[in-house]
Structure 1
């Protein structure tokens, strides 16, 4: 099986390629330098030359607040870039996995969303990711759409690294406590994605580590495990205004994964503990 992974320089793409190599899969990771997904002819030629059996499309414009003003670039990457890949894929009949987001939902209430719930994004980034989903669904049949949330990994920036950096200078932090979701470790997610692509159980899935929390609770667990004495004050979304509207409810049901025989991911607390061990090893190497 030959697998192409876009967005190799991102948190998820990096770990998907790393896990694929560990499993002995013939896997190729590309960055925007290797493959500009907004360049249609470049995409077509690249795909036709490589002829992958599976494409895992992790590349995306993910700067949520910046997207509200940089709309043309965000659409070009998340929608047109996806269309270029999908169209090229149709020519070689390979499987296509599109990585989506909890931001496609309205983000209200307290009940976990299921895959059949109607998306209703409230920020431009979420809108473009949903439009990307529609491109995939309308163009090919052998697709997987995987909606993920609150991702963290060793590569790049994330909430954990931000909290640790802030803790170096401050002993007290205000963190939003009324937005709920599931932190998701890219190491765990990578294994699951590779498990899914080996099947023909196409469709839409939710994938995140088990359990729910809010950002303030997540921060408290980060400081507890990292043994940092930082007081976390829980504040409301309204007290921390952002350019893009954030969903208060990012809870997603993963029941469909287990119903289809896939291995559920460990709890987010377990994942966070293992991430710190990876981070410690990473820092030792550096």
Structure 2
């Protein structure tokens, strides 16, 4: 039996490899250009702030806002930190207290509430979740006056608690916690932990919270930045300068700068110092957003 080969239809080799260039899509050009424009738009105020923080009060108004002119950054920082007995350091400590404690407690409460809404079945679960979602749509400024009236009735106005207690709640954090717990926490892992005799508190703090770490870091950063930049709530609640956060303290300097022009430069220098903790928090916590946080596996 003879086997006949089919005629080859391949093109003869010529010794040269032909390369076909893929057409350049407009999106591959427009996307980097758009990102570059967005980066310039967001970084431009930071650039102006850095330049302005290096100038003296005279050069602040007498020179270009985009060029260095007799820089004296370290002297300006010393002036900010030493003005009025170091009140700026007190404001910074207050901001760290409000933002750090508020963001930490709000994150733990949000993750625990989101985990419970995702993994436990109880009466009215969806009703409570919808009420929490409604809280996301209510702006904080609309709640400032009711919160002031409540705090005044219990005698907490012009205290640390009047700013700290409202900062412990994050409806967005609860929403994100439920969504993330539904996707990242397997039921089989919870059942195995319960069979091993672990209590619910131990399961949450040693296992679930680790699995939900990317969501927890997101909530912490959002809450930290929101509390740090919050101005209206401290304005309503506080009357003593010793309790001011940085935002309210800088505005108090700027409000009297017409009578004391030196405060213009101090306010700018203080604004420059106030963005450093936020930058440090973002850079130090962004590594928790990477994948692969879950160690081990669940064996079926």
TM-score of the aligned structures, taking structure 1 as reference length = 0.22
Kindly name which structure, 1 or 2, has the bigger radius of gyration based on alpha carbons.
2
Q: Which has the higher helix share?
A: 2
Question: What TM-score does the superposition give when structure 2 sets the normalisation length?
Answer: 0.21
**Higher strand fraction (1 or 2):** 1
The structure showing larger relative contact order (alpha-carbon pairs under 8 Å, at least 6 residues apart) is 2
